[in-house]
């Protein structure tokens, strides 16, 4: 420890010595370890005490064992006199023990763990973690040292660990606990440096029967500090800003004042509840107050002019130290916006807006109020335009209390145009097989649903996609087995999607797929009803089951889009339903090593799998071909591992429908051509891998002699006959090769 630190520590010891207040007189309870302590039936001892003796019937027990009751564990061996629990503290735990002498229990007693807890409190008795430098602070120890009863006082020491790490002992071994185990001391923090300290309490072994124990530490800071924090750094005119002032100590005197900007434009206010309402009362351009039990003081200020203001907080109890903060006050502004300027009737219009001041916002479309009490800091409201006429509309907002929605112009506005909605629908295919399904996709801007009506080839009769659908919807009142009707929800963006399954037992032929929208009025034509089946069947009195496809379509149009003044919409698509089919295209013969290219057509749905097999002298590994949008499929098989011969290619949809084609894998004999070079030597070139035939030809040449000519020619002709279509060309090439070879041979001779 350097000289300055020694001086500082000495001042602290001196300060605490003259300011220490022990709240009780000396309690004769402690014990010197030299004297030891007697333990009788039912007594308590603290783990760590020394020189314990056990007494029974007025006599000290000797030759005894110490046994813990809860697990009958013997601690140590056989003891003949005094017991020093300090040496066995790692083996001892809290609880009941017994002393046995010659196998007989003589007494029961208890071991307790040492309790040495501390608290830091201000002068008002509130527990704190921060202390103002220069104030008094109270340290309180709560112990169980009063268990150790004797003729001496039970003494303790408070230990401070300073920010730099050195120890400051406060009245070392000279603070006496009360009979209830509590000790208090008050010190003046003036000599202490600012920073974080750790406080703990330690038992005095000389007065606590040798107990040398220290409790866990508690941290606290000594500082001289004030802070001021606004809840927002930027605010609109006439809006409140809440300032939180925090001080080191509790119940401190503080003030707030304007140190930059015009003070007359700043009003500190308070709020009062009166007559069922909350009223605001102005206090002045500065404010005084006292921090609460947490060391905080809350002040609210309103600013009547825009600009930049500095607010200073003063810590009056700490030599008027200060803290400052700056806030920016903006002119009043409000905004409102939509995602686009053109919508279809029935669309949902998302309106957003905000203001930098005010209590709440009222939103109006033209003269209609659609929202009140919207959030000033930012709101989002969905305006549903169903039933509105195509026209232009103005969306405005009024910020209260600054503007009156009934008399003042809006604080911000935006205009939109509502247009008559449209309808479009498409199918993902024009042809579908029985047992498959197809998709309908489209756009119905501004609508919440579309109706989908399917009309079979035989109109209302026959077997449509679901023969019981209309009967089920009308509770058996109406039967039309060739029709189906369903509803599809429309997304907010206007899109809709639907899947329709085609029964295996449905009629084949061309179906009408009709998609309808009942427009912005929500009813079909002028019927006043949104039930399409009810409308087109004249309240279930019309027998749709006997009408043709054309008749049903005519009725549908008359009752919806062609009705006077109707805003209904309609889109028609057709789809051809066929028995499942799979058709393979013809396949050309393939040279061995090339690819067998397989292609075909099916009316199975898009992305269906077609199983392709190739069987012959070698069975090639099966593959899956996936159906394209136009119904075609294709893939290829390599013949590198195949053999020459005829193969059967099969395309199977896996549901009993297939087609087959044959293909030949062939090989062509590659001739050997001798070409003279500049040195007179012959050079043999091959344009393809050597085949069986060419190998035989080479063998004949190597044998030499004119006698081999006829043999060579006959072998080549025989090999050519095995390759249909190649006899003539092979013979010519072979003869040419022989002639060239014979001439070269003669030259060499």
What's the CATH number where 276 sits?
2.60.40.10
Q: Is 426 helix (H, G, I), strand (E, B) or coil?
A: strand
Query: Cβ atoms within 10 A of the Cβ of 706, count?
Result: 9
Report which of residues 469 and 387 the model is more confident about: 469
Structure-token match 């939109």, residue found: 416
Check residue 274 and give its pLDDT.
83
| Domain end marker among 223, 249, 266 | 223
**In which domain, by residue range, is 594 found?**
582-666
In this structure, is the dihedral angle defined by the CA atoms of residues 440, 445, 448 and 450, taken in order, positive or negative?
Answer: negative
Provide the angle, in degrees to the nearest 10, between the axes of the packed helices 708-721 and 727-748.
160
| Domain end marker among 545, 576, 607 | 576
Q: Are residues 122 and 8 in the same domain?
A: yes
Least confident span in 7-11, 527-531, 567-571, 589-593: 7-11
Q: Are residues 637 and 723 in the same domain?
A: no
Q: Are residues 136 and 24 in the same domain?
A: yes
Phi, psi of 92 (to 5 degrees): -90, 140
Q: How far is CA 333 from CA 401, 402, 410, in A?
A: 14, 11, 12
Check residue 123 and give its pLDDT.
82
**In the predicted structure, residue 659 carries a pLDDT above the cut 70:** yes
The DSSP H or E segment spanning 592 is none
**In the predicted structure, residue 676 carries a pLDDT above the cut 50:** no
Q: How far apart are CA 47 and CA 41, in angstroms?
A: 17
Q: Residues near 474 by Cβ (< 8 Å), separated by ≥ 6?
A: 533, 537, 540
**In the predicted structure, residue 499 carries a pLDDT above the cut 90:** yes
Q: Residues near 354 by Cβ (< 8 Å), separated by ≥ 6?
A: 334, 335, 375, 376, 377, 378, 379
Check residue 280 and give its pLDDT.
86
The DSSP H or E segment spanning 719 is helix 708-721
The DSSP bridge pattern shows strands 431-433 and 569-578 to be: parallel
Check residue 522 and give its pLDDT.
87
What's the rounded mean pLDDT across residues 555-562? Answer: 93
Q: Are residues 100 and 193 in the same domain?
A: yes
Report which of residues 539 and 412 the model is more confident about: 412
Q: How far is CA 78 from CA 105, 245, 324, in A?
A: 14, 67, 73
Check residue 334 and give its pLDDT.
93
What's the rounded mean pLDDT across residues 41-53? Answer: 97
Q: Are residues 65 and 195 in the same domain?
A: yes
Q: Residues near 420 by Cβ (< 8 Å), separated by ≥ 6?
A: 344, 345, 390, 520, 567
pLDDT band of residue 28 (cuts 50, 70, 90) is: low
Q: How far apart are CA 530 and CA 496, in angstroms?
A: 19
Q: What angle do CA 685, 686, 689 make, to 5 degrees?
A: 155
Check residue 566 and give its pLDDT.
87
Structure-token pair, residue 88 = 């066995």
Report which of residues 519 and 387 the model is more confident about: 519
Domain count, the chain: 6
Check residue 13 and give its pLDDT.
41
Check residue 293 and give its pLDDT.
87
Structure-token match 């001021």, residue found: 228
Q: Are residues 245 and 130 in the same domain?
A: no
Q: How far is CA 140 from the centre of its chain?
A: 49
Q: Are residues 47 and 79 in the same domain?
A: yes
Q: How far apart are CA 460 and CA 312, in angstroms?
A: 86
The DSSP bridge pattern shows strands 348-355 and 334-338 to be: antiparallel
Q: Are residues 700 and 644 in the same domain?
A: no
Q: How far apart are CA 679 and CA 744, in angstroms?
A: 13
Q: Residues near 103 by Cβ (< 8 Å), separated by ≥ 6?
A: none
Check residue 154 and give its pLDDT.
94
| Domain end marker among 171, 203, 223 | 223
Check residue 16 and give its pLDDT.
41
Structure-token pair, residue 469 = 């659908």
CB–CB of 254/291 below 8 Å?
Answer: yes
What's the rounded mean pLDDT across residues 648-672? Answer: 85
**In the predicted structure, residue 725 carries a pLDDT above the cut 60:** no
* CA-wise closest residue to 227 among 311, 330, 129: 311
In this structure, is the dihedral angle defined by the CA atoms of residues 284, 290, 291 and 292, taken in order, positive or negative?
Answer: negative
pLDDT band of residue 296 (cuts 50, 70, 90) is: very high
Q: Are residues 103 and 143 in the same domain?
A: yes
Q: Residues near 554 by Cβ (< 8 Å), separated by ≥ 6?
A: none
Structure-token pair, residue 420 = 């008559």
In this structure, is the dihedral angle defined by the CA atoms of residues 468, 474, 475 and 476, taken in order, positive or negative?
Answer: negative
Q: Are residues 515 and 446 in the same domain?
A: yes
Check residue 199 and give its pLDDT.
97
Check residue 125 and give its pLDDT.
87
Structure-token pair, residue 360 = 């709440």
Which burial class, exposed, middle or buried, applies to 102 when counting CB atoms under 10 A from its CB (0-12, 13-18, 19+)? exposed
Strand order in the sheet with 609-615: 590-591, 658-666, 645-652, 609-615, 620-626
- DSSP for 427-450? ES-SEEETT-EEEEEEEETT-SEE
What's the rounded mean pLDDT across residues 74-93? Answer: 95
Q: Is the peptide bond before 477 cis (omega within 30 degrees of 0)?
A: no
**In the predicted structure, residue 26 carries a pLDDT above the cut 80:** no
What's the rounded mean pLDDT across residues 270-277? Answer: 86
What's the rounded mean pLDDT across residues 725-744? Answer: 42
Least confident span in 22-31, 47-56, 441-450: 22-31
Check residue 726 and give its pLDDT.
40
* CA-wise closest residue to 118 among 137, 143, 146, 91: 143
Q: Are residues 158 and 253 in the same domain?
A: no
Q: How far is CA 494 from the centre of its chain?
A: 28
Average pLDDT, the chain: 85
Q: How far apart are CA 76 and CA 87, in angstroms?
A: 10
* CA-wise closest residue to 338 among 315, 365, 298: 365
Least confident span in 43-52, 193-202, 442-451, 596-605: 442-451
CB-based contacts of 263-271 (< 8 A; 24+ apart in sequence): 265/303, 265/304, 265/305, 265/307, 265/309, 266/301, 266/302, 266/303, 266/304, 266/309, 266/311, 267/301, 267/302, 267/303, 267/304, 268/299, 268/300, 268/301, 269/240, 269/300, 269/301, 269/302, 270/300, 271/300
Question: What's 557's DSSP letter?
Answer: H
Q: How far apart are CA 42 and CA 31, in angstroms?
A: 19
Check residue 715 and give its pLDDT.
42
Q: How many residues does the chain have?
A: 749
**CATH classification at residue 50:** 2.60.40.1930
Q: Provide the percentage of residues in the chain whose pLDDT is more than 70.
A: 85
Q: How far apart are CA 411 and CA 107, in angstroms?
A: 90
Q: Are residues 377 and 433 in the same domain?
A: no
Check residue 12 and give its pLDDT.
41
Report which of residues 184 and 565 the model is more confident about: 184
């Amino acid at each position: 420890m350097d000289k300055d630190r020694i001086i500082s520590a000495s001042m602290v010891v001196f300060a605490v010595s003259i300011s220490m207040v022990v709240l009780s007189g000396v309690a004769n309870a402690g014990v010197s370890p030299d004297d030891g302590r007697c333990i009788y039936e039912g007594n308590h001892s603290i783990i760590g005490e020394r020189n314990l003796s056990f007494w029974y019937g007025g006599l000290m027990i000797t030759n005894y064992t110490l046994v813990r009751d809860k697990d009958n564990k013997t601690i140590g061996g056989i003891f003949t006199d005094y017991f020093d629990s300090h040496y066995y503290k790692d083996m001892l735990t809290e609880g009941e023990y017994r002393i046995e002498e010659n196998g007989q229990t003589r007494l029961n007693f208890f071991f307790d763990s040492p309790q040495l807890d501390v608290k830091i409190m201000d002068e008002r008795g509130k527990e704190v973690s921060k202390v103002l430098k220069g104030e008094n602070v109270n340290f309180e120890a709560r112990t169980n040292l009063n268990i150790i009863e004797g003729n001496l006082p039970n003494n303790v020491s408070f230990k401070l660990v300073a920010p730099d790490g050195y120890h400051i002992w406060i009245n070392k071994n000279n603070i006496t606990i009360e009979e209830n185990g509590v000790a208090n001391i008050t010190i003046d923090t003036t000599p202490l440096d600012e920073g974080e300290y750790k406080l703990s309490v330690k038992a005095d072994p000389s007065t606590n029967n040798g107990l040398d124990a220290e409790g866990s530490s508690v941290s606290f800071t000594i500082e001289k500090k004030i802070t001021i924090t606004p809840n927002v750094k930027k605010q609109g005119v006439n809006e409140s800003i809440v300032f939180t002032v925090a001080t080191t100590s509790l119940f401190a005197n503080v003030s707030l004042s304007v140190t930059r900007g015009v003070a007359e434009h700043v009003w500190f206010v308070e709020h009062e509840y009166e007559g069922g309402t909350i009223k605001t009362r102005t206090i002045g351009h500065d404010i005084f107050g006292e921090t609460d039990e947490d060391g905080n003081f809350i002040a609210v200020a309103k600013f009547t002019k825009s600009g930049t203001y500095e607010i200073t907080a003063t810590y009056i109890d700490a030599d008027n130290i200060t803290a400052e903060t700056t806030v920016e006050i903006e002119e009043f502004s409000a905004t409102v916006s939509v995602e686009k300027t053109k919508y279809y009737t029935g669309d949902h219009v998302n309106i957003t807006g905000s203001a930098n001041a005010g209590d709440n916002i009222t939103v109006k479309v033209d003269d209609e109020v659609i929202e009140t009490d919207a959030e000033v800091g930012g709101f989002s409201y969905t305006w549903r335009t169903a039933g509105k006429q195509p026209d232009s509309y103005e969306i405005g907002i009024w910020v209260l209390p600054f503007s009156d929605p009934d008399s003042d112009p809006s604080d911000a506005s935006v205009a939109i145009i509502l247009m008559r909605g449209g309808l479009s629908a498409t199918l993902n295919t024009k042809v579908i097989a029985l047992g498959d399904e197809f998709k309908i996709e489209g756009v119905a801007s501004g609508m919440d649903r579309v109706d989908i009506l399917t009309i079979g080839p035989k109109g209302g009769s026959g077997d449509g996609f679901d023969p019981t659908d209309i009967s089920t919807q009308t509770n058996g009142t109406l039967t039309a087995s060739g029709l189906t009707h369903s509803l599809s929800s429309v997304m907010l963006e206007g899109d809709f999607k639907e899947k329709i399954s085609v029964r295996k037992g449905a009629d084949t032929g061309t179906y009408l797929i009709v998609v309808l929208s009942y427009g912005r009025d929500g009813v079909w034509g002028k019927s006043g009803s949104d039930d399409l089946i009810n409308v087109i069947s004249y309240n279930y009195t019309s027998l749709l089951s006997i009408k043709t496809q054309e008749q049903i379509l005519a009725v549908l149009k008359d009752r919806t889009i062609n009705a006077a003044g109707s805003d209904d919409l309609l889109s028609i698509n057709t789809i051809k339903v066929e028995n499942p089919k799979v058709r393979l295209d013809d396949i050309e013969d393939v040279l061995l090593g090339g690819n067998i290219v397989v292609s075909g057509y099916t009316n199975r749905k898009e992305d269906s799998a077609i199983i392709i097999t190739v069987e012959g002298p070698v069975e090639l590994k099966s593959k899956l071909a996936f159906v394209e949008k136009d119904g075609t499929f294709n893939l290829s098989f390599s013949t590198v591992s195949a053999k020459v011969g005829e193969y059967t290619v099969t395309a199977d949809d896996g549901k009993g429908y297939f087609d087959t084609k044959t293909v030949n894998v062939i090989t062509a004999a590659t001739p050997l051509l001798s070409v003279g070079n500049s040195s007179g030597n012959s050079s043999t070139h091959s344009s393809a891998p050597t085949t069986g035939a060419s190998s035989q030809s080479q063998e004949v040449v190597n044998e030499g002699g004119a006698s081999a000519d006829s043999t060579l020619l006959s072998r080549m002709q025989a090999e050519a006959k095995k390759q249909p279509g190649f006899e003539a060309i092979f013979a010519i090439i072979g003869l040419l090769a022989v002639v060239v070879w014979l001439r070269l041979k003669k030259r060499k001779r």
